[in-house]
Structure 1
């Protein structure tokens, strides 16, 4: 496993060793001891989630607040996504900075997103299977987010506007400016 620090503090790109032969391939998607050795983080994941999305789907930017904030270990089992994170931690040296990375079922790369980050992704292919581990349980009352098309963040989701599929809930999230003024 190769672990690389992203441009955002505490956010890592993880590249597992993939073993291939005539039967197919194998890789270890998570190992607690190896993760801790390579990141210095002692994370206990308690929940696994999976979503399936079609081309053009944009989900996010989501996060949970307070005692229910979540760190996530993200990967794509099938397809291709543009994964986007924004550091929402006011005390961080990368506060309000963003990072995007292509995750695919072919490259098997993973993204570790620490607590206090907003997260979203855009499906760049059909039939995306998106899976992630969380270090805290979901709590509906702690849900929050930032509008995916926030003008301050100006994220290029790599999906033409006419092809974007966004839930009503995500279309009604606050802008960054509104969120910060709450």
Structure 2
């Protein structure tokens, strides 16, 4: 396993060791001791989530507030997604900055997203199976979001907006400047 820093403070790309042969491949998707050794971060993940999305489905930008904020370790089990994170920690030197990376079943990368980040992705392949490890349980009363096309973030989702499939809830999210005044 290799850990690569992103331009956002405390956010990492995890690149697994992949063992391929004529049968296919094998990898460790998570190894707590190695993760701690390479990142210096000790997290206990308490909930695993999985979504299946069709091409053009955009989920995000989501986060949980307060004591229910979640650290996530995410990956595409199948398919290809553009994964986007935004640092929402006012004390961070990368506050209001975003980062994006392709996660797919070929590179098998994972993205470590610390508490205090907004997160979203759009499916670029015909379908995707996306997995999330979370260090806090989902709590509906603390869910929050930012509109995916906030002009202050200028995120290029690398997919035609008119072809995106977005939930009504995600279409009604506030802009960043409405949250951080």
Identify unmatched segments of 5+ residues in structure 1.
none
Q: Distance in 1 between matches of 2:138 and 2:21?
A: 39
Could you tell me how far 1:179 is from its partner in structure 2? 1.5
Give me the CA root mean square deviation.
Answer: 0.6
Match of 1:46 in 2: 46
Match of 1:25 in 2: 25
Could you tell me how far 1:178 is from its partner in structure 2? 1.0
Identify unmatched segments of 5+ residues in structure 2.
none
SS of 2:133's equivalent? strand
Match of 1:14 in 2: 14
SS of 2:165's equivalent? coil
SS of 2:34's equivalent? helix
Could you tell me how far 1:127 is from its partner in structure 2? 1.5
Tell me if 1:2 matches 2:2.
yes
Could you tell me how far 1:134 is from its partner in structure 2? 0.2
Could you tell me how far 1:132 is from its partner in structure 2? 1.0
Matches within 5 A, 1:139-154: 139-154=139-154
SS of 1:106's equivalent? coil
Could you tell me how far 1:114 is from its partner in structure 2? 0.2
Tell me if 1:107 matches 2:107.
yes
TM-score by length of 1: 0.98
Q: Distance in 2 between matches of 1:158 and 1:125?
A: 12
Deviation >2 Å, runs of 4+: none
TM-score by length of 2: 0.99
Q: Distance in 2 between matches of 1:10 and 1:127?
A: 30
Could you tell me how far 1:140 is from its partner in structure 2? 0.1
Q: Tell me the matched-pair count.
A: 181
